[in-house]
């Protein structure tokens, strides 16, 4: 039975939420159709003391969702190229979030492939066939394939449009590594991923453990 994650799931320390998100299913319902994928790679960004977190400069209009209640989406445009989708964590007023870096596609693969092909064409890249496990490999590809943009910023993940479900998928082993694609606080092992998944976007050295259940 599919169970949408409750608010209490997100209102916890961010590193706990990050690990617990692995194996959960991100779902997006649009007019085009439903797409979903198993979360297999995430990164944590925690508070104003984290130089890589958008909350580092303090409250702004852009980062307002981070300071809001947990269980909401925080979507932003990264370097004017890709939208990135994050899950807001911890109690209201404690800015933190988990970036969704990769999914293993489950539903709506034809829709995902059409969106990714259109995106490649717009960027003048070759229109080679995208393999299934590559459709949502990397945070920018997640949002392109899932049809997530600034329209979804601040959405309540307990609603019916963009949400996360527990469908009983188990992740046997998890690897913790430094965060990637950033230049600040790269020494923090706040990125975790399903060790065996082909959809993971990068594999720097890390520590592999059995996931806590």
pLDDT per residue as tens digits for the range 80-131: 789 999 999 999 999 999 999 999 999 999 999 999 988 766 666 666 789 9
> 138, 110 in Cβ contact below 8 A?
no
* Helix, strand, coil fractions of the chain, as percent rounded to 5: 20, 30, 50
Q: What is the model's pLDDT at position 208?
A: 65
Residue-averaged pLDDT of the chain? 92
pLDDT at residue 212 greater than cutoff 50? no
- 3-state SS, one letter per residue, for 113-149: HHHHHHHHHHCCCCCCCCCHHHCCECHHHHHHHHCCC
Q: What is the model's pLDDT at position 213?
A: 30
Q: What is the model's pLDDT at position 211?
A: 47
> 100, 24 in Cβ contact below 8 A?
no
Mean pLDDT score, 29-44: 97
């Amino acid at each position: 039975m599919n169970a949408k994650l409750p608010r209490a799931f997100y209102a916890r320390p961010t590193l706990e939420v990050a690990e617990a998100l692995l194996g959960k299913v991100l779902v997006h319902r649009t007019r085009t159709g439903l797409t979903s994928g198993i979360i297999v790679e995430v990164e944590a960004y925690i508070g104003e003391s984290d130089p890589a977190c958008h909350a580092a400069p303090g409250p702004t209009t852009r980062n307002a969702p981070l300071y809001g209640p947990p269980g909401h989406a925080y979507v932003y445009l990264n370097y004017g190229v890709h939208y990135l989708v994050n899950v807001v964590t911890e109690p209201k007023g404690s800015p933190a979030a988990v970036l969704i870096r990769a999914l293993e596609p489950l539903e709506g693969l034809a829709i995902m492939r059409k969106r990714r092909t259109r995106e490649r064409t717009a960027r003048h890249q070759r229109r080679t066939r995208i393999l299934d496990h590559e459709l949502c490999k990397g945070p920018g590809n997640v949002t392109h394939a899932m049809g997530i943009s600034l329209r979804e910023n601040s959405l309540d993940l307990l609603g019916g449009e963009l949400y996360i479900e527990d469908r009983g998928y188990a992740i046997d082993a998890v690897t913790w590594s430094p965060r990637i694609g950033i230049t600040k606080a790269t020494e923090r092992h706040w990125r975790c991923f399903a060790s065996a998944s082909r959809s993971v976007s990068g594999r720097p050295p890390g520590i592999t453990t059995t996931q806590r259940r």
